[in-house]
Structure 1
């Protein structure tokens, strides 16, 4: 373990970047309602604790994309303030602050969740994946929304979508 603020070795930086990619990939999987992307960041035997759901991460992936798509038109999960602590060469624990915004299906309100992800990851060979996630709620709030997506200033912009109609799908396929 290095001292806080100490410059990390290249191997440690590579491991930190791989872990960060896993954490970001999880957020994208949620927001694009992509169960396969979610499953790709978890080892097959991984478990999650999302409060109402405690169990298999792969089962959770199938359930959560439906659960988010029904009441919400769009979601946006962002993480920050991530601390990564290595436990040997093949295990790591992370804490990431999460802000999750959920636009109700009718566009009238937004539920904003503020909390943290407490994750355990394992490295197998040259690959890091989640083995356990616990979600910690700090607070949540509901706000009324004035939907301006079709207003004059924004009407011509591409619009986000839960699934394959989202512009990012074509962007990553074509490299545009």
Structure 2
């Protein structure tokens, strides 16, 4: 029979896995040509306001605040045509199932990711894979990421093929 501790553990794991999935959802609900680039609509439920992101493995700073991270993604104007939005017009983010270690009101999680992007000119697709390494805290609003480090897997760029049937043997 499950104990209260077992139930709390399961509820916390589910909450943390949902939170990690909301990161990708926050990206995907705000595509490059969409005038709504308010990533905080979802990310306020993902990150603490004082969160630090370490993106040094992909050539950025090891200590980026949340607002600066959003600027990097969408530009300071939040129109989606600056930051990475200058390069990409469409994308899809898949955040893998996290392994979670709980310790009271703190936790760590490691989760794989698979992100696809179409260049703004529509001529190429970029795949980015890697791992998220997260430190989380239970806050009054629920679990929040307080530190996230990206571990780069790989970036690959592929030419876009308008019609997959063009790949058949001739």
Q: Does 1:26 align with 2:23?
A: yes
Preserved contact between residue 128 and residue 154 of structure 2 (Cα < 8 Å): yes
TM-score w.r.t. length of structure 1: 0.73
4+ aligned runs moved over 6 Å, structure 1: none
Distance in structure 2 (CA, Å) of the matches to 1:10 and 1:126:
19
| Residue 108 (structure 1) aligns with | 123
1:126 to partner: Cα distance: 5.9
Q: Does 1:89 align with 2:86?
A: no
- Segments of 5+ residues of structure 2 without an aligned counterpart are 31-37, 76-82, 164-170
Aligned runs of 1:156-171 on 2, under 5 Å? Answer: none
Matched residues, number: 142
Distance in structure 1 (CA, Å) of the matches to 2:118 and 2:145:
27
1:65 to partner: Cα distance: 2.4
Preserved contact between residue 119 and residue 134 of structure 1 (Cα < 8 Å): yes
Preserved contact between residue 39 and residue 57 of structure 1 (Cα < 8 Å): no
| Residue 95 (structure 2) aligns with | 79
Preserved contact between residue 35 and residue 62 of structure 1 (Cα < 8 Å): no
TM-score w.r.t. length of structure 2: 0.75
| Residue 61 (structure 1) aligns with | 70
| Residue 151 (structure 1) aligns with | none
